[in-house]
Structure 1
């Protein structure tokens, strides 16, 4: 099913640019948003029904990466940037970029998974990702590609 997303790369780039203001106004930095989007898959719910079909965000992988947002904040702060909203400091034991990658992959020896997941932050990420999905669908409808994408998803 990745072929349908490959076919809309250009449309996604347009929506990314349009959606940037929403990201800037959110609690997430652009680096955090990139991490969130990396952990998100998009599906078309009710693809066989033209009236009810809609793009939905599969956010089931988000809890695994949410603790990494604090590492991103710590790295930005260490490079002289201001920590983003919601940063509590005291992350402890940062291993730099390599440590972040190892942690994200579950290779850091920690328990990984849902540890340190702020439910409010997770919900905010899920809402923002679904808002992106809604904007992507609206854009596809506006440019006349929604029906083609919906059918491609089914194949």
Structure 2
């Protein structure tokens, strides 16, 4: 589903998944929904500024030093402003013209229900990385 939207926006999705990751015990549809929402948000951020920093969005996963699996979406959009950051995962708060402010809130609920954590960091050059961690079996 993300590939279709990416093609419409002239964005390339780069996938970087580490080999031999441990298994997870998750609701795969819910985790796919979280990843899709983060990809869509990143693509919207990139498209909003005309992809002036590039047109590649990266989906990655790897095993952290703490033994968690981290799944991250690295975009080249405008990043997260200090003002937006304070309410980023709050229901019904949005910076989008047509948004309802539920996407990140729902993502947080899904990840928390799986014993994980979701957050973001602004990238050093451009854009933001939204990521979540999940415990392994």
Identify whether the pair has TM-score above 0.5, normalized to the shorter chain: no
Which is strand-richer, 1 or 2? 2
Larger RCO, structures 1/2 (Cα 8 Å, 6+ apart): 1
Which is helix-richer, 1 or 2? 1
Compute the TM-score of the two structures, normalised by the length of structure 1.
0.29
Compute the TM-score of the two structures, normalised by the length of structure 2.
0.32
Larger-gyration structure (1/2) = 1
